[in-house]
């Protein structure tokens, strides 16, 4: 891991840098929005040597960036609909994440399509052809088979080993391919933000930007109510589904993606992404895959979501029924609503087009610039955040004639990045290494030094008190919801959130 400065984000640093910002005459780049794209922009700009400030109204990854499928897709779906460009871009960016920038937060995951009688011959042919195309994408992106093995057909016994709750009657094996998976999307956002801070960016959460123009904004500290004006040579709007609030000239058409949360036991020890073709579609699937904290996530819907954008979107009953009905077509024992431990939904910030359904709107990103307004980056997908950020900063450099060279973020390891033998030598439990990479040693040391921090935050939960303390001292957590809902994902299950809440409160009390 390489870092060029202090990456720790905390309340003291926030207060100091917010105070110093009032004394700065003008910054090079002001970024509005602390999701995956915004922090990517901040890192790209700061790494080019530009004086960069990021402001986020709430917390890092507060919006769509914590509601994703936690997958690093290779773009296969887009290839099926003719989007060769975005498919290749996705595959390239997936390789960068898996092998260079975030090997500690990503991993290869097998995805198995069960060959059952309800999956017809034509659909099987299409899936197999798609997997072959995925192999070609992997090769053109330069990803080795050691990182993502080639696709193949597997016998029924192997399919059952990976997905033990599959229906056995009529099972004729499965089609197997590989893709990338994130340990957690919100943790990726935090790692990028910290890396940006290490390169000199000012990262300020709980700071709202209003009256945003192409070269200025009014900032309001949500914790104190104080305001200040900031001038910038370039302003970049990376507010995601709220981008049209920052620049009303932007027209968005959000779509909602819903997931359900289950205990891992409901899927009998699932070790792959169980991938179920949606009847009538040649490119869409419902999938269940193992996730953090002993859970399985089941997704994904793609429904038009008109109207005001809520802070926390809610799945509809129809979406829940759709996910259950689809996955139950391949399970031996059907899942019921009573098996659901939690649910979440996210809104994709898609550009409004003609009369296409949101399922067919391109996921390509766009860099827009209205007269007198900020540069806006919108669209895209989590996997391609780095390229989106690069394009936005390129536009800012060109428009404002900023003194900066080309992007280098494809070669910058994020905070904690480690792989191979070096990963094996980290003096920390594997679970902590999976979440924090090389930083896991700091948490282990914290727990060893303060024995009370070595205990879990609640019985039967796999998060240590030391992780809460570290999130406050190094990861910019400012309140209990930051700890429960974003630095960890305990909040996705109400019972777990309730159990861990006293520890979250105690962690902040210990800082005072």
Q: How does pLDDT run across 286-304, given as a tens digit for each residue?
A: 999 999 999 999 998 889 8
Instruction: Quote the tokens at residue 245.
Output: 């609030």
Query: How much is the pLDDT for 280?
Result: 72
Distance between first and last Cα of the chain: 32
Please provide the average confidence, as pLDDT, over all residues in the chain.
Answer: 94
Query: How much is the pLDDT for 120?
Result: 82
Helix ranges, 163-256 (H): 185-198, 243-246
pLDDT class of 2 with cuts at 50, 70, 90: very low
Between CA 210 and CA 10 the distance in angstroms is 24
Q: What is the dihedral of CA 129, 363, 388, 244, to 10 degrees?
A: -170
Q: Average the pLDDT over 127-142 and give the result.
A: 93
Residues contacting 26, CB < 8 A, separation 6+: 231, 232, 233
Query: How much is the pLDDT for 118?
Result: 87
The CA–CA distances, whole Å, from 99 to 36, 74, 83, 144, 439 equal 19, 14, 24, 10, 18
Between CA 216 and CA 214 the distance in angstroms is 6
Q: List b or e across 421-432, with b for residues whose CB sees 16 or more CB atoms inside 10 angstroms.
A: eebeebebeeeb
Q: Average the pLDDT over 309-329 and give the result.
A: 96
Write the pLDDT tens digit of every residue in 219-257.
999 999 999 999 999 999 999 999 999 999 998 989 999
* Residue 298, phi then psi, degrees to nearest 5: -120, 125
Range with the poorest average pLDDT among 207-221, 305-319, 392-406: 305-319
Q: Go through the domains of the chain in sequence order and give each one's CATH number.
A: 11-65+186-251+361-411 (3.50.50.60), 256-351 (3.30.9.10), 420-510 (1.10.8)
- The pairing of beta strand 52-56 with beta strand 27-32: parallel
Query: How much is the pLDDT for 330?
Result: 97
Query: How much is the pLDDT for 145?
Result: 97
Query: How much is the pLDDT for 81?
Result: 63
pLDDT class of 353 with cuts at 50, 70, 90: low
* Residue 509, phi then psi, degrees to nearest 5: -65, -35
Percent of the chain surpassing pLDDT 70: 95
Contact 396, 402 (CB under 8 A): yes
Query: How much is the pLDDT for 24?
Result: 83
Query: How much is the pLDDT for 362?
Result: 53
CA 206 to chain centre: 20
Contacts 24+ apart (CB under 8 A), 8-13: 8/194, 8/197, 8/473, 8/474, 9/193, 9/194, 9/197, 9/203, 9/474, 9/475, 9/476, 10/472, 10/473, 10/474, 10/476, 11/472, 11/478, 11/511, 13/197
Q: Is the pLDDT of residue 341 over 50?
A: yes
Between CA 45 and CA 201 the distance in angstroms is 8
Paired residues of 221 in beta bridges: 207
Q: Average the pLDDT over 30-35 and give the result.
A: 98
Closest of 343, 383, 342 to residue 70, by C-alpha: 383
Q: Is the pLDDT of residue 32 over 60?
A: yes
Between CA 355 and CA 343 the distance in angstroms is 30
Q: Average the pLDDT over 389-407 and give the result.
A: 98
Query: How much is the pLDDT for 210?
Result: 96
């Amino acid at each position: 891991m390489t870092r060029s400065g202090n990456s720790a984000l905390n309340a003291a640093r926030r207060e100091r840098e917010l105070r110093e910002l009032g004394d700065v005459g003008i910054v090079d780049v002001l970024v509005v929005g602390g999701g995956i794209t915004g922090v990517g922009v901040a890192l790209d700009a700061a790494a080019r040597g530009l004086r960069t400030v990021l402001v986020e109204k709430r917390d890092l990854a507060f919006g769509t960036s914590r509601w994703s499928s936690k997958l690093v897709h290779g773009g296969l779906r887009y290839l099926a609909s003719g989007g060769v460009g975005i498919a290749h871009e996705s595959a390239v960016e997936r390789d960068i994440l898996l092998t260079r920038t975030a090997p500690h937060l990503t991993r290869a995951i097998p995805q198995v399509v069960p060959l059952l009688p309800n999956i017809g011959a034509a659909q099987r042919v299409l899936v197999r052809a798609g997997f072959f195309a995925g192999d070609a994408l992997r090769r053109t992106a330069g990803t080795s088979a050691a990182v993502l093995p080639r696709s193949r057909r597997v016998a029924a016994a192997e399919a059952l080993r990976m997905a033990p709750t599959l229906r056995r009657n009529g099972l004729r094996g499965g089609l197997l391919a590989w893709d990338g998976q994130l340990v957690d999307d919100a943790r990726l956002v935090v790692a990028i933000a910290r890396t940006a801070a290490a390169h000199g960016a000012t990262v300020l959460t709980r700071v709202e930007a209003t009256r945003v123009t192409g070269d200025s904004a009014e900032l309001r500290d949500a914790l104190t109510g104080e305001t200040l004006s900031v001038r910038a040579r370039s302003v970049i709007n990376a507010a995601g589904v709220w981008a049209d609030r920052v620049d009303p000239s932007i027209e968005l058409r959000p779509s909602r993606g819903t997931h359900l949360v289950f205990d891992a036991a409901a899927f009998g020890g699932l070790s792959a992404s169980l991938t179920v073709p949606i009847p009538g579609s040649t490119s869409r699937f419902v999938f269940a895959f193992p996730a953090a904290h002993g859970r399985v996530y089941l997704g994904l819907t793609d429904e038009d979501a008109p109207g005001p954008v809520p802070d926390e979107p809610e799945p509809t009953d129809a979406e829940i029924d759709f996910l259950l009905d689809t996955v139950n077509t391949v399970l031996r024992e059907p899942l019921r609503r009573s098996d659901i431990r939690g649910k979440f939904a996210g809104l994709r910030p898609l550009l409004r087009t003609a009369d296409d359904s949101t399922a067919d709107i391109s996921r390509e990103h766009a860099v827009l610039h209205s007269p007198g307004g900020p540069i806006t980056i919108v669209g895209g997908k989590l996997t391609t955040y780095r390229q989106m950020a690069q394009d936005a900063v390129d536009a800012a450099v060109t428009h404002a004639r900023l003194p900066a060279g080309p992007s280098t973020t494809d070669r910058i390891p994020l905070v904690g990045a480690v792989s191979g033998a070096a990963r094996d030598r980290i003096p920390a439990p594997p679970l902590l290494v999976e979440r924090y990479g090389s930083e896991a040693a700091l948490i282990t040391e914290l727990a060893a030094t303060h024995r009370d921090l070595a205990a879990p935050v609640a019985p039967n939960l796999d998060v240590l008190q030391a992780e809460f303390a570290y999130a406050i001292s190094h990861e910019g957590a400012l309140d209990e919801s930051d700890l429960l809902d974003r630095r960890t994902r305990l909040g996705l299950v109400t019972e777990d959130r309730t159990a861990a809440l006293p520890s979250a409160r105690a962690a902040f009390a210990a800082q005072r």
